[in-house]
């Protein structure tokens, strides 16, 4: 699980990554709310970890810094063009929280809301369920939805993310 507050120069991809391993096979799941994405293309060579995502022709090429920190590249193939994003990732395995809740709850995000983007006045409908500081839900737009967002309320701030191998969302 990638967590925390990140310096601006980093490009984090925030997600829960639960791993289970046997002597014969290593399986992992990326978890976005109630969605579970099986990741079974994982290979380690020395201090390098290669993770092939099951959809969207994407993968990670990472260096293992320590038990909680990986850094490297997220590589996405868009047909005739490949995009490489360098990221510093903090992964904490077998945890179930995406972000650290730092402040007392002020914001209540449970319910349905109409949102308007400041840049272009695009409207979306936010549908969220809140339990304590944990929040899950999605944004509905005229072109589709943001799928399974999950995160926390910390004070008056809502932090949400999702990752499925092709789309990395951090709000």
pLDDT band at 42 (very low <50, low <70, confident <90, very high): confident
Task: Please give the pLDDT value at position 112.
Answer: 92
Contact predicate 88/4, CB 8 Å: no
In Å, how far are 11, 47, 77 from 84, measured between CA atoms? 12, 20, 9
* Other Cβ atoms within 10 Å of 144 Cβ, number: 9
pLDDT band at 4 (very low <50, low <70, confident <90, very high): very low
| Separation of alpha carbons 30 and 15, rounded Å | 7
The structure tokens listed for 107 are 């914001």
Task: Please give the pLDDT value at position 161.
Answer: 84
Contact predicate 158/101, CB 8 Å: no
The mean of the pLDDT values for the chain is: 76
Sequence-distant (6+) residues with CB within 8 A of 143 are none
The structure tokens listed for 87 are 């990221």
Task: Please give the pLDDT value at position 129.
Answer: 93
Query: Using one digit for the tens of pLDDT, what is the confidence trace for 77-120?
Result: 887 887 776 665 555 444 566 666 666 667 788 889 888 776 67
Alpha helices in the chain, H assignment, sequence order:
none
Contact predicate 33/22, CB 8 Å: no
Task: Name residue, tokens 């399974």.
Answer: 148
Stretch 122-138: mean pLDDT: 89
Percent pLDDT > 90 in the chain is 6
Query: Using only C-alpha atoms, what is the Rg of the chain?
Result: 17
Query: Using one digit for the tens of pLDDT, what is the confidence trace for 49-73?
Result: 898 888 788 888 888 887 767 778 8
């Amino acid at each position: 699980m990638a967590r925390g507050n990140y310096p601006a120069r980093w490009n984090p991809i925030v997600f829960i990554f639960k791993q289970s391993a046997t002597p014969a096979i290593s399986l992992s799941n990326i978890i976005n709310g109630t969605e579970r994405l099986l990741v079974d293309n994982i290979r380690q060579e020395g201090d390098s970890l290669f993770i092939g995502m099951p959809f969207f022709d994407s993968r990670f090429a990472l260096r293992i810094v320590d038990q909680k920190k990986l850094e490297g590249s997220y590589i996405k193939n868009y047909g005739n063009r490949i995009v490489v994003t360098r990221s510093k990732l903090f992964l904490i395995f077998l945890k179930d929280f995406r972000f650290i809740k730092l402040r007392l709850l002020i914001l209540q995000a449970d319910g349905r809301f109409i949102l308007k983007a400041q840049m272009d006045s695009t409207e979306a409908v936010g549908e969220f369920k809140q339990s304590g500081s944990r929040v899950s839900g999605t944004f509905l737009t005229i072109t589709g939805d943001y799928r399974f967002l999950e995160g926390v309320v910390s004070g008056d701030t809502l932090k949400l993310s999702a990752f499925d191998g092709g789309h990395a969302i951090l709000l």
